[in-house]
Amino acid sequence: MERTIHLNCDLGEGGKYDEEIMPLISACNIACGGHAGNLETMHRTVRMAMEHDVEIGAHPSYPDRENFGRNHLEMSARDLKLSIEGQILSLKQIAESEGGKMTHVKLHGALYNDAAKDENIARLIVECLEDLEEDFRLFVPLNSKISELAMGKFDLFFEAFADRNYEPDYSLVSRSKNHALITEDQQVFEHVFFMYNDGKIKTFSGEEISCKADTFCVHSDTPSSLEIIHFLHKKFAEKGIGVKNT
């Protein structure tokens, strides 16, 4: 029986390769107006996902298009909750209007990182999703506050990053550092395969930490992202591992 790997990608963010990437992944996380995206891009990306049987997910963020959602934004709990709910419901309604179904939620950027470390923000996100009363799967980072608080309440998919270096505390190396991204295809493959096959992450400092990952993300705005995903397909196929599709 062939082993499989689950790949996800953040799409609908204005990238050049969404159409080419979509058939190569298991799940897409669609920008829904917070950091990027609008009604037109959401409709278009949902249709592409349905065409290729790719799981459809909402990718909500701090409402900060100017900084692409990559900076922490001071907001009242009420305003943040309303923003997140609005983003998720917008994508859900669009998916349904196209005859599809939204399957999961993955936070974006600074909100993803804050929910990993800040118990108050993590609790707010969990409460927000509970209020929606939907059976969404939640993509969560390893060793995170949100995974602790959401455990038993949602179907969790633990996520690891194919194209990002890690710190020993499981946080991602800051994008402000020149070694944050992994952009060479062989290095990306080795990084992912070590996590997938050995259950360990090799941090940038060389330390090895344990890894339980259900899905692996390649960012669509990483340089050579399309070439990287093609290379991952090739190398995994050589090892008898297929990219999971719905």
Would you call 52 exposed, middle or buried from its count of C-beta atoms within 10 A (0-12, 13-18, 19+)?
Answer: middle
Q: What is the Cβ-side half-sphere exposure of residue 246, based on CA atoms within 13 angstroms?
A: 18
Q: Where would I find the H helices in 133-239?
A: 145-150, 185-193, 225-238
What is residue 168's predicted lDDT score, i.e. its pLDDT? Answer: 95
What is residue 136's predicted lDDT score, i.e. its pLDDT? Answer: 94
User: Domain spans of the chain?
Assistant: 3-243
Structure tokens at 214: 């259900």
Give the bridge partners for 160, in sequence order.
216
- pTM assigned to the model: 0.96
What is residue 2's predicted lDDT score, i.e. its pLDDT? Answer: 75
What is residue 1's predicted lDDT score, i.e. its pLDDT? Answer: 53
CATH of domain 3-243: 3.20.20.370
What is residue 152's predicted lDDT score, i.e. its pLDDT? Answer: 96
What is residue 37's predicted lDDT score, i.e. its pLDDT? Answer: 98
Q: State the DSSP code for 117.
A: H
Helix and strand element counts for the chain (H, E): 8, 11
What is residue 224's predicted lDDT score, i.e. its pLDDT? Answer: 92
How many residues are there in the chain?
Answer: 246
What is residue 222's predicted lDDT score, i.e. its pLDDT? Answer: 87
What is residue 79's predicted lDDT score, i.e. its pLDDT? Answer: 97
Compute φ and ψ for 240, nearest 5 degrees. Answer: 75, 25
Report the alpha-carbon distance of residue 44 to residue 113 in Å, rounded: 28
pLDDT in tens, the chain (246 residues): 579 999 999 999 999 999 999 999 999 999 999 999 999 999 999 999 999 999 999 999 999 999 999 999 999 999 999 999 999 999 999 999 999 999 999 999 999 999 999 999 999 999 999 999 899 999 999 999 999 999 999 999 999 999 999 999 999 999 989 899 999 999 999 999 999 999 999 999 999 999 999 999 999 988 899 999 999 999 999 999 999 874
What is residue 68's predicted lDDT score, i.e. its pLDDT? Answer: 96
What is residue 245's predicted lDDT score, i.e. its pLDDT? Answer: 76
